[in-house]
Structure 1
Amino acid sequence: MVVLKSAAELATMREAGRVVAQILAAVSAAAKPDATLLELDDLARELLSEKGAKSSFLHYHPSFAPIPYPAVLCLSVNDAIVHGIPDARRLEEGDLLSIDFGAHIDGYHGDSAVTVGIGPIDEAAQRLSDVGRQALEAGIAAAVPGNRLGDISYAVQSVCRAAKYGMPTGYGGHGVGTAMHEDPHVPNEGRPGRGLTLRPGLALAIEPMVVESGSDRHRLQRDGWTVSTVDGSRAAHWEHTIAVTDDGPVILTAP
């Protein structure tokens, strides 16, 4: 069921979104060569406590997962697309790191992701990340009242496919509100003019995922969470939670 949010509910989601943006910025700044993924997760936990917010990810247990999610960040390095579990791995110069993070305040969630380079990165990695961000921006721009869900999907798809990148089959964004994942599913590919009509009060997470090799195939690692490319090629992931309003899309997870 799709639930439209009131102005007061969106204001609370904006509070959660600011926390998400601040912590993503702090973790991005700390993501340097020799830092471990667990250290980054510890930093996010500390900041969550300081800001009086709660994790959207910790202990989250969807039906597909063998265990509840054990961290507050999803940290996906190089060929990991999404849902990488933080561990003792040390980041190396040239790595590409996707940082996905969610938090809630008074039961209302914000969810966002960025991809950052660890130290200097090569031109191909930078282009991959840039295209993911541009696809996100295109999807957000399409989130206006009267458009359809397929218009968002088509905008994301058009940017990614023009760059000849792959997009993992079946993955995309989602509604956000009192649960981190609500209806509707927001595919990263679709046909314009099709699907749910966008109305003010609709809150969505739009999240392009792009694969450098052009392959749409993916695999689930043994931990039951981490989704990786099948060919070892790199991936990038960008996400914002937005609200559809009469004045156009509002990014709830903006800094």
Structure 2
Amino acid sequence: MMETFEKIEDIEIRLLLEALYHRYHYDFRDYAMSSIKRRLRQAKENMGLATISAMQERVLHDPDMLPQMLRYLTVQVSEMYRDPSYFLAIRQLVIPHLRTYPSLKVWVAGCSTGEELYSLVILFREEGLEERTLFYATDINPDALHQAEAGIYDAERVRQFSENYRQAGGKTSLSDYYHSHYNRCILDKSLRRNVVFSDHSLVTDQVFGEMHLISCRNVMIYFDRDLQDRVVGLFKDSLPRQGFLGLGAKESLRFSTHANAFRDFVRTEKIYQRTDS
């Protein structure tokens, strides 16, 4: 009986993902099924629906359901200077190479609510590169992009942000870049002056420019192998020779068909450099 339920649920989920794609052009069909299944079960329970099929009916006939679905299907978990050693490696080992360029483009792919973006902007400001850098912050979730552009976070998170910043080699105090108001941390609006926020799907969209640094951390772990390979190819085509790609701690280029286009630059931090291959 349980096996039959599982099979029916798998069919329902695939039909729902097809509905999302054909109705709204959001493509989750090649995301890791275990992750999608877990999130949709939570959505079904929270919405008080009996089946995934009932969710599909609402998605098809009620456009207001789309933002709710995106909140469940896209992971919005981040913090400023998450994994501080990654940002320390960017500061100490990548920045010296980027200094040689008269102008720079940095792409934070899957920027979520903006914490990683602002971590890099502050780092580049402290290293004297902000003025010559254009930052692209992209995500498929419009609500997340709106939060990222606002740059407002719960004050209770700031203690962890500040400790991460210190461990990442911060040169002053993180409090120099925000002010507090009604239990909110509001980042200085000057941090957004060189930032372009844009809707972009790693699943369906193409290259939109040549970047010197791409940071896409803890995004590909939710994709299946074929989609991961597609995304790595997109990054390869976006980077010039000697450009840099940063991934999350649990991500790797090891099994990608594009792996020979990169070399390990900082192996422990999953930072790669584009090669001639």
Q: How does the TM-score come out when normalised to structure 2?
A: 0.27
Q: Which has the higher strand share?
A: 1
**Higher RCO (C-alpha 8 Å, min separation 6):** 1
Q: How does the TM-score come out when normalised to structure 1?
A: 0.29
Tell which structure's C-alpha radius of gyration is larger. Answer: 2
